[in-house]
Structure 1
Amino acid sequence: MKERNLYLSHFYFIGQFILLSSFYAKVLKGKKLISFIKNILILVIILLIGYYSLYPKDYFKWNVFEISITSVPLLVYSFLFFTQRIEIKTSRSFIYFNSGFFVYLLSSTLLFTLGNIGLGNLELRPIKLFVWKVNSILYIIYQILVFLEWYKNFRKKESSELKSSINT
């Protein structure tokens, strides 16, 4: 019998949501905005605990509710990050990361929420394969932008810190 590993996707989506909510709470400015992010984080976790308590069998299925409820707030945080960085012209940290993240998360959220549509329809199979390939390409672009972020903003800091620790 073939075992399904869809339950692992829940760790990915929830883990991504928790880690990136924490990240955006650190890099975004404004007490109200940080409070908003923390409240959304708590609310989403409570909603997911309640959902899986009521529907424990859904833990072993592809869950569009979970994907939507964890991805949409991250897209909002990412958009808010862009608006703050436009206003603050001097700080460009994490702009490459956020750009790649926004494009990738937007496309993957659409892909994952539409994932169950047309499972048995063979006519839609080529379209689904094309969408998955586009998502893979966007993920590679996201990884390139993460590398650029590190290269432009953090590589120099790490090497200078290493040199100063060697000299002391």
Structure 2
Amino acid sequence: MEIMYHMHLNNLLLMNTFVIGQMILLGLFYKSLFKIQAQKKVVVWSMILALLIIFIQLYNDPEQIYKFNLFEITICSLLVLIFALMHFYNMLGDNKTYYYFSIGVVAFMLASTVLLLVGNLTHNLSNEFKYLSWRLNAFLVGVFYFSMIVEWKVSFSKTKNLAN
């Protein structure tokens, strides 16, 4: 994306592809954690419905793939949030698998979605204020990655296995 930016090419195609790919990969991840078949079906059918709606939008307005598509970002992020919250619900009476990762997903997706939705409103404001939301989003990405490291340390670290 950085190279495309410096070459004055529109890099939003990659961002839109990333958002859809993120929804699919995290949806499949949470589907693999669910033990109840009805929950697995909810994940699959909601992703199919979301992709269908997004593709209908892109069919009707193909230029949306090269724009900052708030509709797509909102649908994909909210679905991942719902999947993560379903996982939290399942963990109430079960062991805490991927607990820290899911905390990171919820915090990042919720805050990032709000920042991206507000980001379109800031285009008329000063560059200083406009870039503040992007810096905050970059910080949230760091928090999300930190939650992945904590999850790895808690779940997969050799020191944990040696203690057992």
- Is the structural similarity TM-score above 0.5? yes
Task: Choose which of 152, 155, 163 in structure 1 pairs with 2:154.
Answer: 152
**Retained in 1: the 8 A contact 2:123–2:130?**
no
Q: Would you say the 8 A contact 1:93–1:149 is kept in 2? A: no
Bigger Cα displacement from structure 2, 60-69 vs 110-119: 110-119
Q: Distance in 1 between matches of 2:132 and 2:70?
A: 20
Is the Cα contact below 8 Å between 1:100 and 1:146 reproduced in 2?
Answer: yes
Q: What's the TM-score, normalizing by structure 2?
A: 0.86
The letter of the residue matching 1:144 is: F
Residue 126 of structure 1 deviates from its aligned partner by 4.1
Task: Give 1:1-168 correspondences, 5 Å limit.
Answer: 2-88=8-94, 91-122=95-126, 125-156=127-158
The one-letter amino acid paired with 1:56 is P
State how far apart, in whole Å, the 2-side matches of 1:134 and 1:118 are.
Answer: 14
* Contact 1:97 1:149 (C-alpha < 8 Å) held by counterparts: yes
Mapped partners of 2:122, 2:143: distance in 1 = 28
Matched AA of 1:128: K
- Give structure 1 regions of 4+ aligned residues with deviation exceeding 4 angstroms: none
Moved more, 135-144 or 11-20: 135-144
| CA distance in structure 1 between the partners assigned to 2:64 and 2:144 by the alignment | 30
Q: Which consecutive residues of structure 2, in runs of 5 or more, have no partner in the other structure?
A: 1-6
In 2: Cα distance, 1:50 partner to 1:142 partner: 31
Please give the alpha-carbon distance, in whole angstroms, between the structure 1 residues aligned to 2:30 and 2:61.
Answer: 30
Matched AA of 1:136: A
Distance 1:126 1:86 in 2: 43
Return the offset for 1:113. Answer: 1.8
Hey, what's the Cα distance between the residues in 2 that align with 1:18 and 1:74? Answer: 9
Long gaps (5+) in structure 1: 161-168
Which structure's CA Rg is the greater one? 1
**Count, aligned residues:** 156
Q: Is the 8 A contact 1:44 1:69 kept in 2?
A: yes
Name the % identity: 27
